[in-house]
């Protein structure tokens, strides 16, 4: 294998050596694209074409960015060592500079890169300099808040928007989805032609036909509900009859609601439910055919409904567009930009500001992009404009990048994120441009997979991928794997038999039995020593049933990690939200009863009834908090209400994040989650939700309703937050979209019953200049499964065109699935879903014995879960033992103390350590010595500064003084020194006069100048070495502490970590001089204070000798007020 020359070696060499050509590299699965990208970056450094801070590498995810940075740094270090060994001075210097300046090289996502561009030029970009990037989870909350504020604003005045909605029977809440669609695509123009409202004359014949058909249906409808329930046509007839009576069809909007039901609801007939007689069945069949004819495409009813929905479309879009504009303005006002804002603003900056584009282009001379097949159209604009020098041309489709400035890697066969705005048509457009000004290379060698995988992939996809790329689909490129064999390799398939049941073969009927088969098979292979858990990856087309596979694996003691499934603390979070709702509304007894009956209190209905029958109230405030009349304090309901009252008081006394954290700890929710099925996943999801609560609190969301909203969002999200992240030797279970970029020795394509049929809901097209035009199906956001409430008149044509793109993307998804495996690919099949299986494209190849082998999997019983058979007293004893051990380990083994605080403790009663200071093994005393003696003394004096020393001025004054002295030591004099003093006083918020000038400026300047005229300062100026404001930290052993007289009476011996800042240290021929500045009026004013000062300087001297290994010959106290010195 080491001697193998890849068939694409010429292209790989060109990537490394052709640095003057812009390259687009189509890199197939497992082709080593990251290695190629790192190699080109290293070559840019080696040849001197670029400094490292002129390179920007853009990746698809933060994880990929971290991996790329690590590999780039490792290569630079290797090349630097090689240059040292070979004596190549030029290469050594270049790689050395690159390593020293590696932080200047941008490696990250496109959104982070655009954020950096905006921060470099915020004014031209029209964004606040202090803008923040909003995460996906934060944006959901921000978008919801904006939507609510927009509706509130409209409801408070007579709004034409609301009036127009009401005229067509729409409510604002129904358009929430349209608002989110337009907000997510701010660069897309959504045209909506004016379609006249249908007239009464146009409506009349359709109304008459519908009423006649309904009447005929009602005559045939049985009087009693048939066994097994009404069939679909019967349900439709009954609903139409109800709407005709309540509220009636007099209003146009009510009639069209009924017409939509008549046209779109199923007319399927189950004949025996219309009667046993042959005539009844025949009549039912004929009736069904009449309904089908009434609703047929091209019929009068369908055409009338289409016109009504198109008439609504323009009105609905106008409302959604106004809401999206309000949201965009709010983001800018709040200086919180989402990912689309970053892209759009960066593109506008480069497009509209030639000078900024020129300077940024000089700053980032070479841009390398990974996963370009999933690029957003705006991303392409940003990259092309940044890489081109012709700043007079603002259209990205017309610019020509600098030679070698652009290097993009992608695989159009893996473009699978159309729902995230990735557009293969944009990729094809970019590819065509590269063929004009650069070159397109293809990498087909695969270093991941074995020969059987190559055979299977080439057999399956030679055909679904055309020979030449089309608008919708990438071209076929065969895999060419490196030679080599492993003990276990091949393509396999197995069959799964659905569980017994009636109806459609989906869901748990397949996932349940299949998960048991797979878990048993994996357990067996691990036990035989053939594989480790980390060798397996289970992929499904959808995310609906991943938890079934995870539970089956965990039941057999196989470590598992689930991604993208929403498997988390659903039960715990839902119950916590219920409890918080009850606490937020203590006057609602229904919520209180629900919380008492729920997970955390578990009271039975019998106990609740007994409480009510005895006259008790379901209230935890007022008298109800004690259980209510007729109920003793020892009753279970009363005890639970007392706990709820305590929780309620916490919510009133603490911010929501703190209160919820205390409640979760008191209830033991985390241990409960961790002890159940998928415990690590569930506990991790709960910890994530609590972290989200703390983050929201930092943004001001500290009320209980805020906390409930944040937790509801966390419950709805699909987060990958295991309790112990980063575990490697685990079976990975995920849906197919999550597997992009991943690989495993054994990949199982499971759940063959997944439904791939999802009709299009949007269509976006782009012209030659990249301008986007969109069409959207507006669905009712208030209904779980939607329901069309508005759409363009020509929507069917748009939907058909979009369906071709989605079908092509399905093929690419299957390609991604088939190419994740390194050694073994295993595909699930089910006889009853063979034709509709999401993996059906593979079946023909799987049936060829020369390509794939069938497996016979058998499920083994789950091992019984061991139970804890311990008496309660023993459990309590173990807990107490553990707590005692934890307390022992938490005892400080050292103490951190500032010099000032340590000396003061030795001089008087020891100060009480702050219990909040120190973490486990250390203790921190005092506020540190960051400004040496600038902190307030025990009697209120500030050690440095002040004309009398009688009144302390706090740390801010001392900090300003030290800044001024440090500037003077570095040569600042005259106006320069005065400017430094002024800036220091303002920065530390010292008093100012009416003109904004610091009132202490003259005093500070005089103090520093007095020091500059002193004999001490002159000596320091002549010294061979002089240091000002020297921070230090040193550990003193107990014997040293005792020798200095700093040991606390009765305190146990322990290491003292002493830290401080020495004002001035300088070295003369015979040793060091240590100086500390004071502001007292005279050295003899307070002998006890002077003694304390001397001990402080002595401690400085001891520490200095320990740190430097050199002698301190002299200690000096300098009193700034009158310039006197105390020397010993």
Q: What CA–CA distance (Å, rounded) separates 645 from 582?
A: 11
Same domain, 265 and 321: no
Same domain, 596 and 700: yes
* β 1124-1127/336-337 pair status: unpaired
Q: Give the tokens for residue 585.
A: 């509304």
Q: What's the first-to-final CA gap in the chain, in angstroms?
A: 77
| CATH code of the domain covering residue 57 | 3.40.50.300
Q: H or E stretch including 1062?
A: strand 1055-1068
Three-class DSSP labels, 656-697: HHHHHHHHHHHHCHHHHHHHCCCHHHHHHHHHHHHHHHHHHH
Tell me the backbone φ, ψ of residue 119, rounded to 5 degrees. Answer: -70, -25
End position of a domain, from candidates 390, 421, 445: 445
Q: What CA–CA distance (Å, rounded) separates 297 from 293?
A: 9
In a domain, 300, yes or no: yes
The owner of tokens 């049933």 is 545
In a domain, 539, yes or no: yes
Could you tell me the residue range of the domain that residue 575 belongs to? Answer: 570-716
Least Cα distance to 736 among 564, 552, 515, 536 occurs for 564
The owner of tokens 């937020």 is 584
- Amino acid 1012: pLDDT: 86
Residues in the chain, how many? 1128
| CATH code of the domain covering residue 655 | 1.10.486
- Residues near 201 by beta carbon (within 8 Å), at least 6 away in sequence: none
Q: Which long-range contacts (CB under 8 A, 24 or more apart) does 504-508 make?
A: 505/753, 505/830, 505/832, 505/833, 506/753, 506/755, 507/544, 507/545, 507/753, 508/545, 508/548
The owner of tokens 């007392």 is 642
Same domain, 517 and 538: yes
Same domain, 323 and 399: no
Same domain, 661 and 555: no
- Amino acid 1037: pLDDT: 81
Same domain, 321 and 396: no
When divided into structural domains, the chain yields a total of 6
- Amino acid 1118: pLDDT: 85
- Amino acid 564: pLDDT: 67
**Which residue(s) pair with 752 in the sheet?**
none
Q: What CA–CA distance (Å, rounded) separates 473 from 471?
A: 6
In the predicted model, residues of the chain with pLDDT beneath 70 are: 1-2, 501-506, 564-569, 623-634, 718-726, 755-756, 897, 900-953, 1044-1052, 1079-1086, 1120-1121
Q: What CA–CA distance (Å, rounded) separates 972 from 266?
A: 87
Tell whether pTM > 0.85.
Answer: no
How does DSSP classify residue 1072? E
Q: Give the tokens for residue 875.
A: 């459990």
In a domain, 481, yes or no: no
CA 870-873-875 angle, to 5 degrees, is: 55
Same domain, 390 and 503: no
Least Cα distance to 620 among 668, 584, 667 occurs for 584
- Amino acid 903: pLDDT: 67
Same domain, 1018 and 1121: yes
Other C-beta atoms lying within 10 Å of the C-beta of residue 195: 17
Tell me the backbone φ, ψ of residue 357, rounded to 5 degrees. Answer: -65, -40
Q: H or E stretch including 216?
A: helix 200-220
Least Cα distance to 1041 among 1058, 1026, 1028, 1025 occurs for 1058
In a domain, 257, yes or no: yes
3-state secondary structure of 1075: strand
In a domain, 399, yes or no: yes
279 to 276, 283, 286, 755: CA distances (angstroms) = 9, 6, 11, 38
In a domain, 387, yes or no: yes
| CATH code of the domain covering residue 1070 | 3.90.320
Same domain, 424 and 303: no
Same domain, 629 and 735: no
CB 348 within 8 A of CB 125: yes
- Amino acid 27: pLDDT: 93
Q: Give the tokens for residue 685.
A: 């999801």
The owner of tokens 């202090």 is 130
1003: left (phi > 0), else alpha (psi -120 to 50), else beta?
alpha
3-state secondary structure of 318: helix
Tell me the backbone φ, ψ of residue 387, rounded to 5 degrees. Answer: -90, 0
In a domain, 1002, yes or no: no
Same domain, 148 and 175: yes
3-state secondary structure of 481: strand
Same domain, 1099 and 1047: yes
Q: What CA–CA distance (Å, rounded) separates 94 from 52?
A: 9
453 to 55, 161, 465, 531, 836: CA distances (angstroms) = 37, 58, 17, 18, 24
Least Cα distance to 1037 among 1053, 1048, 1060, 1052 occurs for 1053
CB 307 within 8 A of CB 187: no
- Amino acid 769: pLDDT: 76
Q: H or E stretch including 456?
A: helix 451-461
- Residues near 697 by beta carbon (within 8 Å), at least 6 away in sequence: 655, 656, 657
For 489-627, list the strands marked E by DSSP: 490-495, 536-540, 560-563
912 to 454, 679, 924, 1055, 1064: CA distances (angstroms) = 72, 42, 11, 18, 31
How does DSSP classify residue 992? B
Q: What is the DSSP string of 6-25?
A: PTTHHHHHHHHH-TTS-EEE
CB 1117 within 8 A of CB 1089: no
End position of a domain, from candidates 825, 855, 885: 855
End position of a domain, from candidates 806, 831, 855: 855
In a domain, 472, yes or no: no
């Amino acid at each position: 294998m080491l001697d193998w020359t890849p068939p694409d070696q010429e292209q790989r060499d060109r990537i490394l050596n052709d640095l003057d050509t812009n390259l687009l590299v189509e890199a197939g699965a497992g082709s080593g694209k990251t290695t190629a990208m790192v190699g080109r970056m290293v070559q840019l450094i080696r040849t001197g074409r670029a400094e490292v801070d002129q390179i920007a590498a853009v990746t698809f995810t933060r994880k990929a960015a971290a991996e790329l940075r690590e590999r780039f740094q490792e290569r630079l270090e290797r090349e630097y060592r090689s240059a040292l060994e070979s004596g190549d001075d030029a290469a050594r210097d270049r790689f050395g500079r690159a390593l020293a300046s590696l932080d200047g090289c941008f490696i990250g996502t496109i959104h982070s890169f655009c954020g950096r561009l905006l921060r470099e030029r915020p004014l031209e970009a029209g964004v606040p300099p202090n803008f923040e990037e909003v995460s996906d989870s934060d944006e959901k909350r921000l978008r919801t808040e904006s939507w609510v504020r927009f509706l509130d604003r409209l409801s408070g005045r007579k709004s034409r928007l609301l009036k127009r909605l009401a005229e067509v029977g729409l409510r604002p809440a129904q358009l929430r989805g349209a608002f989110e669609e337009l907000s997510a695509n701010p660069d897309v123009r959504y045209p909506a032609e004016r379609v006249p409202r249908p007239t009464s004359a146009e409506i009349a014949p359709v109304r008459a036909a519908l009423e006649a058909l309904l009447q005929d249906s009602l005559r045939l409808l049985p009087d009693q509900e048939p066994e097994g329930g009404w069939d679909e046509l019967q349900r439709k007839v009954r609903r139409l009859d109800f709407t005709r009576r309540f509220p009636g069809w007099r209003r146009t909007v009510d009639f069209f609601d009924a017409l939509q039901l008549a046209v779109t609801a199923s007319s399927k007939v189950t004949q025996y439910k219309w009667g046993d007689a042959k005539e009844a069945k025949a009549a039912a069949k004929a009736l069904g055919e009449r309904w089908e004819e009434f609703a047929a495409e091209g019929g009068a009813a369908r055409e009338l409904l289409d016109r009504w929905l198109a008439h609504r479309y323009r009105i609905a879009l106008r409302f959604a567009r106004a809401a999206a504009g309000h949201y965009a303005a709010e983001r800018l006002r709040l200086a919180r930009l989402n990912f689309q804002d970053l892209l759009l603003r960066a593109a506008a900056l480069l497009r509209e500001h030639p000078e900024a584009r020129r300077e940024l282009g000089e700053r980032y001379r070479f841009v390398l992009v990974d996963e370009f097949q999933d690029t957003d159209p705006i991303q392409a604009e940003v990259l092309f404009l940044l890489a081109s020098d012709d700043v007079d041309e603002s259209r990205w489709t017309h610019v020509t990048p600098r030679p070698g400035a652009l290097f993009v890697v992608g695989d159009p066969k893996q473009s699978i994120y159309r729902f995230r705005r990735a557009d293969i048509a944009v990729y094809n457009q970019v590819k065509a441009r590269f063929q004009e000004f650069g070159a397109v290379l293809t990498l087909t060698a695969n270093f991941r997979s074995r020969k059987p995988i190559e055979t299977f992939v080439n057999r399956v996809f030679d055909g679904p991928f055309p020979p030449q790329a089309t608008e919708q689909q990438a071209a076929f490129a065969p895999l060419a794997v490196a030679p080599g064999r492993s003990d276990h390799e091949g393509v396999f398939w197995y069959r799964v038999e659905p569980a017994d049941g009636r109806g459609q073969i989906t869901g748990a009927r397949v996932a349940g039995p299949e998960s048991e088969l797979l878990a048993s098979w994996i357990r067996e292979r691990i036990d035989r020593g053939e594989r480790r858990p980390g060798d397996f990856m289970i992929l499904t087309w959808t995310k609906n049933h991943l938890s079934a596979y995870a539970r089956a694996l965990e039941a057999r003691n196989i470590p598992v990690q689930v991604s993208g499934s929403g498997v988390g603390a659903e039960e715990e979070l839902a119950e916590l939200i219920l409890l918080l709702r009850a606490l937020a509304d203590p006057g609602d007894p229904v919520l209180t009863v629900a919380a008492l009956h729920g997970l955390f209190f578990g009271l039975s209905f019998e106990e609740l009834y007994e409480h009510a029958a005895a006259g008790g109230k379901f209230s935890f405030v007022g008298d109800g908090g004690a259980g209510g009349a007729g109920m003793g304090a020892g009753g279970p309901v009363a005890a639970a209400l007392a706990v709820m009252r305590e929780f309620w008081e916490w919510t009133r006394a603490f911010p929501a994040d703190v209160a919820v954290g205390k409640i979760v700890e008191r209830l033991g929710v985390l241990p409960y989650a961790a002890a159940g099925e998928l415990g690590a996943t569930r506990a991790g999801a709960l910890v994530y939700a609590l972290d989200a609560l703390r983050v929201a609190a930092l943004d001001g969301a500290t009320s209980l309703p805020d906390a409930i909203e944040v937790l509801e969002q966390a419950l709805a999200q699909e987060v990958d937050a295991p309790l112990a992240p980063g575990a490697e030797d685990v079976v990975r279970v995920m849906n197919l979209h999550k597997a992009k970029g991943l690989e495993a020795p054994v990949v199982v394509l499971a759940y063959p019953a997944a439904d791939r049929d999802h009709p299009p809901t949007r269509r976006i097209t782009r012209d030659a200049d990249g301008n986007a035009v969109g069409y959207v199906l507006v669905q009712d956001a208030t209904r779980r499964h939607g329901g069309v409430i508005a759409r363009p008149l020509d929507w069917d044509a748009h939907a058909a065109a979009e369906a071709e793109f989605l079908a092509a993307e399905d093929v690419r998804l299957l390609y991604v699935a088939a190419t994740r495996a390194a050694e073994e690919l295993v595909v699930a099949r089910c006889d009853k879903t063979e034709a509709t299986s999401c993996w059906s494209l593979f079946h023909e190849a799987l049936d060829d014995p020369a390509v794939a082998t069938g497996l016979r999997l058998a499920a083994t019983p789950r091992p019984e879960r061991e139970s804890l058979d311990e008496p309660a007293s023993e459990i309590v004893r173990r807990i107490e033992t553990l707590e005692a051990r934890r307390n022992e380990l938490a005892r400080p083994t050292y103490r951190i103390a500032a010099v000032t605080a340590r000396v003061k403790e030795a001089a008087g009663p020891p100060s009480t350590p702050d219990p909040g200071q120190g973490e486990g093994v250390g203790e921190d005393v005092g506020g540190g010595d960051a400004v040496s003696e600038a902190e307030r003394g025990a009697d209120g004096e500030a050690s440095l500064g002040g004309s009398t020393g009688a009144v302390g001025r706090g740390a801010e004054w001392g900090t300003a003084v030290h800044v001024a002295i440090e500037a003077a030591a570095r040569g600042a004099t005259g106006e320069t020194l005065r400017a430094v003093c002024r800036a220091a006083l303002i920065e530390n918020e010292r008093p100012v006069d009416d003109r904004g000038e610091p009132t202490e400026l003259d005093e500070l300047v005089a103090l520093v100048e007095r020091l500059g005229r002193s004999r001490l300062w002159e000596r320091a100026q002549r010294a061979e070495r002089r240091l000002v404001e020297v921070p230090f930290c040193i550990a003193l052993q107990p014997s040293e502490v005792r020798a200095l007289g700093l040991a606390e009476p009765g305190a146990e011996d322990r290491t003292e970590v002493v830290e401080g800042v020495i004002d001035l240290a300088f070295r003369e021929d015979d040793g060091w001089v240590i100086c500390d500045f004071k502001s007292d009026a005279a050295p003899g004013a307070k002998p006890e204070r002077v003694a304390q000062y001397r001990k402080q300087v002595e401690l400085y001297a001891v520490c200095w000798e320990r740190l430097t290994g050199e002698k301190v010959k002299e200690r000096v106290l300098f009193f700034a007020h009158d310039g006197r010195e105390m020397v010993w």
